[in-house]
Amino acid sequence: MENYYKLLGVKPGASAAEIKKAFRKKAKQLHPDIAGEDNSGAMRKLIAAYEALSDLNRRFDYERVYSSYAKKTGFDYRTWLNEQEKPEYKARLIFYELLNLQEDRAIEVWRKNGGLDFQLEKHMEREDWMDCQYILAEELDRRNFSFEAFKLLAAILAEEHRQPYFNHFTIDIKKYVKTIIGKKLKKQVDNETWVTCMESLMGVGFSAYEENTFNEYKEQALNEIRAEQQ
């Protein structure tokens, strides 16, 4: 399997601008007018490398596949991701650990990078972010970190309402959120946070009846806050 980074002459953590610059430089060297027609195969490989690494989704896919291949030569993808400082690689490491059933590691990396303040959606393609965030929410809830799970799921529902991705599975996500609300969330947050949580569920695709219920929960908490202030 070809090492596309080596073909282009860049390091694995290279930016999009560095990849483009390297491609242009190599392409000039391999142009038929300079290198002759015999180098057409090398030019095709160079183009394939550039196309794979210049597209974020394809780059992620290539690195996953190449990491499996490269293990035979001693390359460890997890270690490499750990060594990268850019937040997009930390996001990718979280997803990698989740997909490889290393959930505690994924949560540890997520917390080290800010937890709820680490906005995965800024560092991943939309579909990867939504998949990663859902799996992460499940694992947090299993460990009884249900407030954090709720926040992640609420963000997914808001994005899903804006532009569907999970489609029919969204019904299950909503049920999951309501289960967290009914069984765990109230015990883990104060009244002010509870009010904010209920407000975050407005306009994200719940029915009018469900929204009325959330508003009732909100009003109950507001009444308790007022009573405490008297």
pLDDT tens, the chain, 230 aa long: 678 888 888 877 677 778 888 888 888 787 655 555 556 677 788 888 888 887 777 777 777 776 666 655 566 778 878 888 889 889 989 988 888 788 999 999 999 999 999 999 999 888 889 989 999 999 999 999 999 999 999 999 999 999 988 888 899 999 999 999 999 999 999 999 999 999 999 999 999 999 999 999 999 999 988 888 87
What is d(CA 134, CA 119) in angstroms, rounded to the nearest whole number? 13
**Contacts of 134-137 spanning 24+ positions with Cβ under 8 A:** 134/166, 134/173, 135/98, 135/99, 136/94, 136/98, 136/106, 136/107, 136/110
pLDDT of residue 39: 60
Provide the residue type at 170 as one letter.
T
What is d(CA 70, CA 60) in angstroms, rounded to the nearest whole number? 15
pLDDT of residue 150: 97
pLDDT of residue 80: 79
Provide the residue type at 214 as one letter.
F
**Contacts of 65-68 spanning 24+ positions with Cβ under 8 A:** 65/1, 66/1, 66/3, 66/4
What is d(CA 201, CA 197) in angstroms, rounded to the nearest whole number? 7
pLDDT of residue 1: 65
pLDDT of residue 175: 94
What is d(CA 106, CA 116) in angstroms, rounded to the nearest whole number? 13
- C-alpha gyration radius of the chain: 23
pLDDT of residue 107: 97
By residue count, the chain amounts to: 230
